[in-house]
Amino acid sequence: MARRYDPERRQRIIDAAIRVVAAKGIAGLSHRSAAAEADVPLGSTTYHFKTLDELLVATLRQANEGFAKTVAAREALRDVDADLATELAGLVGEWLADDRTEVEVEYELYLAALRRPVLRPVADECGRDFADLLARRTDPVTARALVALIDGICLQVLLTGAPYDEEYAREVLARVTG
């Protein structure tokens, strides 16, 4: 039997893995659950991702891309005349608006790096890229502090279910930016 050409299959498996993590958490993700969600044979997931860690790396990388696109769309972050704290508070508000599933999945995958060292470089990459962007507007130490503060604010909102307080975020971000 001839093998069917399906160039989008790998991407469909990653998309399915994100949906599985959103619905069941990391513990619910397996080759089998991703294959079922993607409606592909189990062998397709193991062909494209030899191990579950490989699938998790690809999934975290894609989740990080969502945040990177949100950051890239905010051109004012690169504008030296724009108030950095206000722009960052707005960015976080945009990211946490409405359905927070995407953000929850990204943080769940990000925190999975605590137990899965293979995820650490990908988790670190996102934070480093964001800090590098912010370092163009401030110094590298302040940029890293801003990333850590934003992570903390996001985690508190996600963990408590509280509404995002943009004015509070702007105020504490302004304190760090000086």
Q: What is the CATH number of domain 60-177?
A: 1.10.357.10
pLDDT of residue 148: 97
Residues of the chain with CATH 1.10.357.10: 60-177
Using the predicted structure, report yes or no on whether residue 1 has a pLDDT greater than 50.
no
Using the predicted structure, report yes or no on whether residue 175 has a pLDDT greater than 90.
yes
Residues of the chain with CATH 1.10.10.60: 1-50
Q: Residue type at 94?
A: E
Q: What is the pTM of this model?
A: 0.87
Q: Assign domain 1-50 to a CATH class.
A: mainly alpha
Cα R_g (the chain), whole angstroms? 18
Q: What angle do CA 175, 99, 67 make, to 5 degrees?
A: 55
